[in-house]
Every structure is written in C-alpha cells, then in structure tokens.
C-alpha cells in the first residue's frame, strides 16, 4: 500500500501552511487560540475564512459552480490537518465547509444550494448545529422541539441545548419534530436573527461563549427552509454526522501537543525511559487514528459516504482513545501546562476532554459498531 502524497498534494499542503504562517496574527497562540468560543476568535474566524476563500482554500473540494475547485476530498483533509496543527483557526466555519455544505449539496433544493452554498464558500457566515435537547442527546429521536405546518410556513417552538457558537451564528441547521410519530423529524435552515429566537450562554469547560441554550417561541420559517421531505431527517443527519465525525483530524492536534510536551519534559530533565516508552505508545495510537482517517477518506472517495459504513466509528473511537491517553499523560507528567505554562496545551485539554461526548458519545460509537459490524443487538434505539 502506498501512503505517500502526490507532488500536487505536497504543493497544496505547502500553500495552506504558507497561508497560515502569513495570515495568523503574531499573538495567535497567546490571545486567539485560547478561546474556541470567544468573541475575539469568532470575529477573527470571519475575516480569516474570507481570506482563505479568496485564496481558493476554504472549499476547494466543492464543485466549481458552488465556489469550489472540484479538487479531491484529500485536499479537504490536507487542509484540515494543517488547520488543526494550529488548533483550527477557522473556528466554527469548519462545520459549514465540512458537513453542512456537503449535506446541502446532496439533499438541498436548487434554491437552498443557490442561497447557502456561495455564502458558506465566502467564509463570512457562521452556522450552528441545533440537534441536542435536555432530554435528547444520544437519543436524538426523543427531541420535542416542534415545527408545525401552517400553510406556507412552519412555526417552531421548543429549545436546544449545548449549541456551540450560537451567539455569533448566522444560521442554524435545526432538527425539529414535524409529527407525533417518534422518528418524524425534519431538518430546517433557520436564520438566527428570526423573531422569537433567544440565545442564552452558559459556562462550559472549553471556554465561556462556547455553549448555549437556544429557545424558540413561535419562530416562523417558510416551507422552503425545510431540507428534504417532511419527516425524512435521518438520512440527512446520518450523512452529516458521518462527515462531522471524521471531519476533525484531532490526531494532528494531538501530535503537535505530544511534541510540545516531549520538548518540555526534555527541558525539565524529566523525559525518562518510562516516559519515552509511554509517549511512543501514544504516538503509535495517534498514527493509528491518522491511518484510519485516511482509510475513511479513501472509502468515501471510492463509494461516497454510506450510512452503513463502520470505519468512521472505528476511526472516531481510535482518535478518542489516543486523545484520552494523551490527556492522562499530560495530567500525570505536566500538570502545570494546564494552569498557565502552555495555553496551547491547556486548550487542547479543555477541548478534547469532551471528545468522548460531543458529536455522539464514545458508547454510541461502540454501539453502532457492534450493531453494524458484528450484527449484535442494539443497546441504543
Ligand atoms: C463541548 C460540547 C459541544 C457540543 N456542541 C453541540 C452542538 O453544537 N449542537 C448540538 O446539537 N449538540 C452539541 N453537543 C451535545 C452532544 O452532541 C451531546 O452531549 C451528546 O450527543 C450526548 O448527549 P447528552 O449530553 O444528552 O448525553 P446522554 O445522551 O444523556 O448520555 C449520557 C451518558 O449515557 C450514555 N447513554 C445514553 N443513552 C444510553 C443508553 N440507551 N444505554 C446506555 N448508555 C446510554 C451515553 O453514552 C453517555 O455516556 C455538544 C456537547 C459538548 C460536550
């Protein structure tokens, strides 16, 4: 098997890296990288992504007619690896480019594509994901936010929780119940400035400003805001989540953090043989996650994102395992990096400690895997 990159891909990676070095502020690590949900980082994200878009680097893997360059999905991956090496300066816009855009490309109407894809491709719009509710996380089908049809409109009432970046988002990719049957859920594209939407932030480990409740009181959207047929959210959600789950090369961030940690341990004279062996073991796990991510990408390029694919779950589990081991390694051997010595490592710690929960829990990944790959009965319904 040949794992090497082509000359073109190496050139593309160099272009992205040069761009990052030229366009990230000099105080990036001190003042921006610390706050995934901070106002400063989110404002920065709009300017930075607009520049990326002008350079043709934001959505190069999209079709030309929607602001892309028809380039391979590998370019998306190369770009994401480079971004995560800098703790993802695109901020929430990775969601627009990585999975909301692709979901609209596959399931959106011509009108929705024309309205939203050029905006996402411009890098100036922030989206949030309105899936989880207080009683509906893993069990998404239990959600109670309702969208009731009233002629040419839907009227939305209910509440979402854990909504990352909601206070700065322009649009929400919303799931709402459109009839009382358990699985009758539909997807809506909702402008966050619609009357009746109230966003309330709450503190979280990642950063104040990251997490929110979003309340809907008689929010009206036109029928044309619905993606797909009424009650047919599941194929869209499955497709979007399979993109989301592998869209983040966390292993790249972990790789960078492990390298920094080793440098510090060497400076401190603490890089003992035991720690060398431990860090080598973690590095091997990071590389497993990387190779599995490449395998997912390979499969996707060959066959598209199939709902029944199991590799994305395997990759997600491997990446979460590698990150968890690294978090323990940091806590055991460099606890001072988590309280002042390194903002970059502290952010990694804060962001990755939730990686076994956000975008589908670790246990859910195992459940999906056991069901799809081993044909065992499902624990979650
Ligand atoms: C930092 C962060 C950012 C997030 N951002 C967003 C966002 O932008 N938009 C959004 O919609 N959501 C977001 N989420 C929510 C996330 O998707 C949910 O937290 C996740 O789906 C789990 O749901 P829950 O929190 O309700 O936990 P639960 O589903 O209640 O699960 C709690 C625990 O119970 C286990 N469990 C659940 N059901 C079963 C069962 N039937 N059998 C056995 N075990 C079970 C789970 O595996 C888990 O360990 C975010 C979460 C975090 C932490």
Mutate to test the pocket of ligand 1, among 138, 160, 164, 214 (most ligand atoms within 8 A of CB): 138
Pocket of ligand 1 (CB under 6 A): 128-132, 137-139, 162-164, 206, 354, 357-361, 363-364, 379-380
pLDDT band at 365 (very low <50, low <70, confident <90, very high): confident
Region 226-234 average pLDDT = 96
Decide if pLDDT at 46 tops 90.
Answer: yes
Q: Which structure tokens are listed for 193?
A: 């400035």
Tell me what the pLDDT averaged over the chain comes to.
Answer: 91
Q: Which structure tokens are listed for 324?
A: 């968890």
Would you kindly state where each structural domain of the chain is located, as residue ranges? 7-125, 129-231, 249-374
How many Cβ atoms are within 10 Å of 157's Cβ, its own excluded?
Answer: 16
Given a contact cutoff of 8 angstroms between Cβ atoms, the answer to whether 364 and 380 are in contact is: yes
pLDDT value at residue 35: 72
pLDDT value at residue 352: 87
Fold (topology level) of 129-231? Butyryl-CoA Dehydrogenase, subunit A; domain 2 (2.40.110)
The CATH number assigned to the domain with range 249-374 reads 1.20.140.10
pLDDT value at residue 381: 59
pLDDT digits (tens, 9 = 90+) for 259-271: 999 999 999 999 9
Distance 68 CA to ligand 1 centre (A): 33
Decide if pLDDT at 4 tops 80.
Answer: yes
Q: What are the residues whose beta carbons fall under 8 Å from the beta carbon of 196, sequence distance 6 or more?
A: 156, 216, 217, 218, 219, 220
pLDDT band at 245 (very low <50, low <70, confident <90, very high): low
Q: Which residue has the higher pLDDT, 283 or 37?
A: 283
Q: What are the residues whose beta carbons fall under 8 Å from the beta carbon of 155, sequence distance 6 or more?
A: 147, 148, 218, 219, 220
Q: Count the alpha carbons within 13 Å of 52 in the hemisphere toward its beta carbon.
A: 32
Domain 7-125 has CATH 1.10.540.10: yes
Q: Count the alpha carbons within 13 Å of 211 in the hemisphere toward its beta carbon.
A: 13
Region 109-127 average pLDDT = 95
Residues in the chain: 381
pLDDT band at 114 (very low <50, low <70, confident <90, very high): very high
- The CA distance from 210 to 167, in Å, is 9
Given a contact cutoff of 8 angstroms between Cβ atoms, the answer to whether 66 and 113 are in contact is: yes
Distance 362 CA to ligand 1 centre (A): 9
Given a contact cutoff of 8 angstroms between Cβ atoms, the answer to whether 231 and 182 are in contact is: no
Distance 322 CA to ligand 1 centre (A): 20
Distance 352 CA to ligand 1 centre (A): 15
Residue nearest to atom 52 of ligand 1 (CA): 358
pLDDT value at residue 163: 96
- The CA distance from 372 to 377, in Å, is 9
Distance 380 CA to ligand 1 centre (A): 12
Question: Which atom of ligand 1 approaches the CA of 164 most closely?
Answer: 8
Q: Which residue has the higher pLDDT, 36 or 219?
A: 219
Q: Which structure tokens are listed for 74?
A: 């590998």
pLDDT band at 98 (very low <50, low <70, confident <90, very high): confident
Q: Which structure tokens are listed for 47?
A: 């300017």
Using the CB atoms, write b or e for 163-192: b if 16+ within 10 Å.
bbbbbbbebbbbbbbbeeeeeebbbbbbeb
Distance 138 CA to ligand 1 centre (A): 5
Which of 80-84, 94-98, 266-270, 309-313 bottoms out in mean pLDDT, i.e. has the lowest?
309-313
Pick left, alpha or beta for residue 135 (phi over 0 → left; psi -120 to 50 → alpha; otherwise beta).
Answer: alpha
pLDDT band at 311 (very low <50, low <70, confident <90, very high): confident
- The CA distance from 37 to 302, in Å, is 35
pLDDT value at residue 233: 96
pLDDT digits (tens, 9 = 90+) for 157-177: 999 999 999 999 999 999 999
Residue nearest to atom 24 of ligand 1 (CA): 137
pLDDT value at residue 3: 76
pLDDT value at residue 300: 82
């Amino acid at each position: 098997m040949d794992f090497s990159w082509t000359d073109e891909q190496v050139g593309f990676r160099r272009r992205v890296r040069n761009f990052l070095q030229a366009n990230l502020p000099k105080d990036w690590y001190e003042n921006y990288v610390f706050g995934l949900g901070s106002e400063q980082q989110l404002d920065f994200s709009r300017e930075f992504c607009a520049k990326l878009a002008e350079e043709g680097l934001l959505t190069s893997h999209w079709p030309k007619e929607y602001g892309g360059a028809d380039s391979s999905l590998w370019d998306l991956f190369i770009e994401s690896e480079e971004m995560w090496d800098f703790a993802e300066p695109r901020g929430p816009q990775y969601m627009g480019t990585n999975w909301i855009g692709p979901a609209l490309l596959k399931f959106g109407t011509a009108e929705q594509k024309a309205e939203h894809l050029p905006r996402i491709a411009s890098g100036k719009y922030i989206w949030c994901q309105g899936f989880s509710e207080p009683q509906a996380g893993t069990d998404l089908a239990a959600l109670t936010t309702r969208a009731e049809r009233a002629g040419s409109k839907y009227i939305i009432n209910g509440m979402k929780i854990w909504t990352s970046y909601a206070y700065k988002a322009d649009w929400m990719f919303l799931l709402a119940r459109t009839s009382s049957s358990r699985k009758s859920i539909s997807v809506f594209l909702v402008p966050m400035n619609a009357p009746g939407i109230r966003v309330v932030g709450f503190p979280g480990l990642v950063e104040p400003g990251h997490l929110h409740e979003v309340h809907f009181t008689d929010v009206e959207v036109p029928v044309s805001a619905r993606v797909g047929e009424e009650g047919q959210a599941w194929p869209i959600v499955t497709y979007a989540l399979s993109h989301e789950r592998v869209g983040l090369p966390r292993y790249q961030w972990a790789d960078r953090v492990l390298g920094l940690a080793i440098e510090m341990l060497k400076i401190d004279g603490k890089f003992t043989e035991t720690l060398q062996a431990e860090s080598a073991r973690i590095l091997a796990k990071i590389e497993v996650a990387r190779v599995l991510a490449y395998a997912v990408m390979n499969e996707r390029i060959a066959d598209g994102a199939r709902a029944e694919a199991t590799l994305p779950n395997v990759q997600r589990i491997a990446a979460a395992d590698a990150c968890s081991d690294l978090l323990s390694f940091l806590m055991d051997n460099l606890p001072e990096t988590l309280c002042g010595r390194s903002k970059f490592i502290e952010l990694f710690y804060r962001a990755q400690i939730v990686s076994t929960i956000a975008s589908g829990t670790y246990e859910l990944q195992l459940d999906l895997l056991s069901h799809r790959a081993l044909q065992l009965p499902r624990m979650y319904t």
